[in-house]
Chains A and B, each alone.
Chain A
Amino acid sequence: MAPTGGDAAYVGKRTLRVEDPRLLTGTGTYVDDIVRPGMLHACFVRSPMARARVLGIDVSEALQLDGVHAVFVASDLNPGVHEQWYTLNGRDNPDTPRPPLAEDEVRFVGDPVAMVVATDRYIAEDAAELVVVDYEPLPPVVDYATALDSAESVHADRPDNLVGRLGGRPMADLDPVFERAPHVVSQTLYQQSHGPVPMETRGIVAEYAAAGGEMTIWAATQSPHEVRSFCARLLGIAEHRVRVVMRDTGGGFGQKVLPQREDMCVMLAAARLPAALKWIEDRQEHLLAAGQARHEHGEARMALDDDGGILAATLDHVQDAGAYPTPSPVQSGIAVGMLFPGPYRIPEGTFSSRFVFSNTSGRVAYRGPWQYESMARETLLDTAARQLGLDPVELRRRNMLSREELPTANFNGMPYDHISPRETFEQALTMLDYEAFRREQVRAREQGRYLGVGTCTYVEPTAGATPFHATEGATIRIEPSGKVNVYVAGGSCGNSLETTVVQLTADSLGVAIEDVSTVQGDTAVTPYGAGTGGSRSGPMTAGAIAGTAGELRERIRAIAAHRLEVPVEEVEFVRGRAWAKGRPGEAGLTLAEIADIAYYQVHALPPGVPAGLEASGRYHTPHLMIWANATHVCTCEVDVVTGEVKLLRYIVSEDCGPMINPSVVEGQIFGGTVQGIGGALYEHLAYDDDGNPISTTFMDYLLPTATEVPVIEVGHVETPSPGPGGYKGVGEGGAIGSAPAVVNAVADALAPLGVRISRLPLTPSSVVGFVEEARTRQAVTL
């Protein structure tokens, strides 16, 4: 299906973004920019202990402070909860506990126990310091890895601390293969807790008009309609009485897909306050309580034959859910195991995943939430190559799928098609000149310098058809002046969704891009939609716009044909002008003239054509998912004295099908890649043994800066998907492929020293630790 009307004038081009002028001049509208009459400000009192019984809360002194409006505790707000579940997860799927404020027990440092409401945030913080909470400390369950064996429970009704488990066939089924295999390689790699950390923290403004029973919410969100449905259910008011507005959201990366406990508190409190209530999370709160991700380990095993052919693979995976995950990790968590086989021919295998409560910040979604499948597999492949004495590239070449072998399914039954793993792999290696790098590496080693190269090739399901995500709507209204507005649900957090939609609409209708504007992120105005997430916006909005614009385009041509007195088939409509085929010189009709007929000369419309030029459509994807793939290749130098890892070259070869806007595609890859680099080398939401977080400022939680990041080179391979326009999602992939490639590069650099990497992140001190450990190990064996 070609969703374009006439030539693609804008799709595929590096169209300048329509969002940029306002964002560059400081005139965007983020949630903290919202000011309402009499607006009040919230600040949370948070637990300083990882686990404690709450014996009492004294708010009297706080209430006496000038400017303090109210102090809410759990008994004030929690009974107001009517119904609490996420559309994304579904009503009937098992979920984890989620009280707005902590009740009898606090379960992590940062757990909200009270909410102060005051005339401004300064005073609210003063008052929060005056709230006295009487805690009785309890022994916390800090380390998820030992939580299953702990005598203590994070939630009393889950005594074993197990949120849930998922898996394929029994591990024991594979025993015969592993027993017979000439080579078995296994390793356990621990990945540290880190997270999305958008530059804009969480935030919400809620204003309730009691007389009319109307709630208006401004939120930093990826999914305004999810916020609306959630709020309506929470407060027990009708969905159409809730309006959620978001214009600009300062990054989401999965973190802002779902409302969390603090948002619930603001919604519940706003319904009882005379004015709007604003909560803007500060950075310390964010690093304490906005959630963590990627905190997991797994024992990965592979059986190989003498030629390096993979016979079987298994993964025994355990992930930290924290105290209050958003949502339950069990449903989405299965992806780690399902995708573990990756782009390789692996005849059989299985996995097990367990999700475990701990007294730490709750798990949230983070861009490519199943990234550990690649981390476990790709690092294991490099270990296998070293064990077998093969070059890791050669080992992959012997096992990696190429286009000709498709369609196929991995051993978990995931059906792969329209992907090009081997092609991206070869393209990336060519861009690097892999052989030349290996020669350089040999020379460097002779000089006592440690250079390394690492790769990661992955396949990724995008635009998945879960019930919430399977449809997307678009409304296109051509105004009487001929100017076009396209309405979609929105939820853009930097994903360039406005530009994407404008490009697609201009081409689908056949009008000039300057004549198209878009309205997004207001549930009162736009079609219903699930927002951004799951790398869905490109393919899904393309489907919605293609269908809706196609309908309008037919109407435009019918009106023009009627006026020009030619058959419809003879009407050309390009760049907002219609004329009879073969007679472009003759006076045709502009879109404004056609719109004038549609709105004001209804009698002149052809029979059967409705008045006006507005259409709405909803695309329902017939595809369970749309596969995308990429290869990341990274080279580095490691200083074995300080442990510093310096990235030298970074290459991504990707296949997202045809690109709607190459700048946007590359921008998504760049950003995701650097988040992965951060995860591999810098970022760590660390806790001490008592459950105290020790990286709650940007001086300790280290985001990469411009000097930690190399130039990223991008190559494109284009395999159209079966979806609209052949497009695929591209939002998440960069964050999947990068960390494993970096880890492999470091391991490769240090391979001559016998280094084995078992824990992340690869900080300078941990790299030195691995080098020392290898020296000790080898000294013992010698």
Chain B
Amino acid sequence: MKPAPFTYHAPVDADEAVGLLAELGDEAKAIAGGQSLVPMLALRLASFGHLVDLRRLDELRGIERRGDDTVWIGAGTTQATVQRSDEARAAVPLLARATPFIGHFQIRSRGTVGGSLAHADSAAEYPAVALTLDAELEALSPRGRRTIPAARFLTGMWSTELADDELLTGVNFPVWKGRCGFAIEEFARRSGDFAIAGATVALRMDGDGHLDRCAIGLFGLGPTAVRARDTEAALLGSDPLEADAEEIGRSATEGLGSVPSDLHGSAPYRTRVGAAMVARAWRRAVQEALHG
């Protein structure tokens, strides 16, 4: 099980990297941690004439508080770094809590934030977290920089808004303040496996104990992570203690199109598990918002 040949490039900065991607076209693939890409190369499910390694791009690494409302995380920052970061834990708790679910620690020591988002596996945690928190993704191409809202970033299974010559450079995670609760729940066959279904919940309560912000993310239940926006809208302004978690789970997973079916579970089964994960995450998030 050996990868097909390729030409290797290790640009020194992001401009050189996107220049190479532009020049080499669809024969080229950027490699960051490689934890999803290299297995596909080894299994020869994919092959590329050129790999553009991002390892020398120090500008893509780091976790920084930017102003009061934002934490910037460089796309090349490893998941292990996120897991060790006090800043991430304090300011973006949902991201910190999602991180241990990614593979195993040996995977997280190479896998990156940007790699996980750009790979856009529908069962992956980080895309769901970005979507739930309304993160903004920074991209660079030879045409310049742009910012893409998470909601527009994920376009399908393993496909994103990024152009072939465009590189994810960082993610701006909004810092939610106030009486907030965050939870992620997922169900996998074994520890570290991709989720059969998972859910993220982020919510905030106003002074009267009513929800004034609410986001429910689902992953593993379609071609991309999705938000249960109708359910969220129905919950806004309500008292979360009066809500029925199971009913929220059902509502959030209602009408999902193209839920995958495979050896590990049929579409109806995944939907059922997804509903249970929403309910569990909901209860935990509410508890946190109430009691800290």
Contacts and interface: CB of A to CB of B under 8 A. Distances in A.
Do any CB atoms of chain A lie under 8 A from CB atoms of chain B in the complex?
A: yes
Interface of A: 121-122, 125-126, 129, 282-284, 641-644, 682, 684, 686, 694-695, 697, 699-700, 702, 704-705, 707-708, 763-765, 768-769
A336 B164 CA distance: 58
B49 interface: no
Contact of B263 (A282, A642, A686): A686
Which 8 A/B pairs are nearest by Cβ-Cβ distance? A282-B1, A765-B265, A707-B191, A765-B269, A122-B2, A641-B276, A125-B2, A642-B273
Contacts of B273: 641-642, 764
A705 B43 contact: no
Given A694-B262, A707-B191, 5 more contacts: A122-B3, A641-B276, A763-B189, A763-B265, A765-B265
Nearest to A124: B2
Contacts of A695: 263
B187 A642 contact: yes
A682 B190 contact: yes
A156 B262 CA distance: 33
Interface string B263-292: 111100100110010000000000000000
Contacts of A125: 1-2, 4, 44
Interface string B171-203: 000000000000000010111111010000000
Contact of B196 (A129, A700, A764, A769): A764
7 contacts: A283-B1, A704-B190, A707-B191, A708-B190, A764-B189, A764-B265, A765-B264
Contacts of B39: 697, 699
B67 interface: no
B265 A126 contact: no
A705 B272 contact: no
Interface in B133-184: none
B207 interface: no
B266 A284 contact: no
A360 to B, nearest CB: 15
B263 A708 contact: no
A707 B193 CA distance: 12
Nearest to B194: A699
Nearest to A122: B2
A776 to B, nearest CB: 14
Nearest to A768: B269
A684 B263 contact: yes
Given A126-B5, A763-B264, A284 B43 contact: yes
Contact of B187 (A282, A644, A694, A708): A644
Contact of A694 (B43, B193, B263, B269): B263
Contacts of B262: 694
A644 B186 CA distance: 12
B193 A702 contact: yes
A764 B187 contact: yes
B1 to A, nearest CB: 4
Chain A interface, >50% SS class: loop
A125 B5 CA distance: 11
A129 B44 contact: yes
Grouping DSSP codes into helix (H, G, I), strand (E, B) and loop, the B interface class, with mixed when no group exceeds half, is: loop
A769 B4 CA distance: 42
Interface string B201-215: 000000000000000
A702 B189 contact: yes
Contacts of B44: 125, 129
B263 A700 contact: yes
A659 to B, nearest CB: 32
A338 B272 CA distance: 44
Contact of B193 (A283, A684, A699): A699
B157 to A, nearest CB: 16
Contacts of A700: 263
Interface in B236-272: 262-266, 269, 272
B113 to A, nearest CB: 22
Nearest to B45: A697
A684 B192 CA distance: 18
B1 A768 contact: no
B264 A284 contact: no
Nearest to A696: B43
Interface string B23-59: 0000000000000000100011000000000000000
Which of A641, A697, A769 is most buried by chain B, counting CB atoms within 10 A of its CB?
A641
A392 B10 CA distance: 66
A404 B269 CA distance: 51
A765 B265 CA distance: 5
Contacts of B272: 641, 768
A121 B2 contact: yes
A708 B276 CA distance: 21
Contacts of B189: 682, 702, 763-764
A82 B273 CA distance: 57
A700 B189 CA distance: 10
A642 B276 CA distance: 8
Contacts of B193: 699, 702
A759 B159 CA distance: 37
Contacts of A705: 190-192
Contacts of B43: 284, 697
A700 B193 CA distance: 9
A145 to B, nearest CB: 19
A725 B2 CA distance: 50
Task: Give the residue among A121, A284, A642, A695 with the most B Cβ atoms within 10 A.
Answer: A642
A699 B190 CA distance: 10
Contacts of B4: 125-126, 129
A282 B4 CA distance: 15
A284 B5 CA distance: 20
B190 A702 contact: yes
B4 to A, nearest CB: 7
A490 to B, nearest CB: 29
A708 B189 CA distance: 9
Contact of B191 (A643, A697, A708): A708
A749 to B, nearest CB: 18
A694 B262 CA distance: 9
A280 to B, nearest CB: 10
Interface in B72-110: none
Contacts of A684: 263
B126 to A, nearest CB: 18
| Residue picked from A283, A284, A764, most chain B C-beta under 10 Å | A764
Nearest to A681: B189
Contacts of A682: 189-190
Nearest to A763: B264
A645 to B, nearest CB: 11
Contacts of B269: 643, 764-765, 768-769
A74 to B, nearest CB: 24
A95 to B, nearest CB: 32
Contacts of A644: 187
Contacts of A121: 2
A282 B1 CA distance: 6
A284 B262 CA distance: 19
Contacts of B276: 641-642
A121 B194 CA distance: 30
B63 to A, nearest CB: 29
Contacts of A769: 269
A704 B263 CA distance: 16
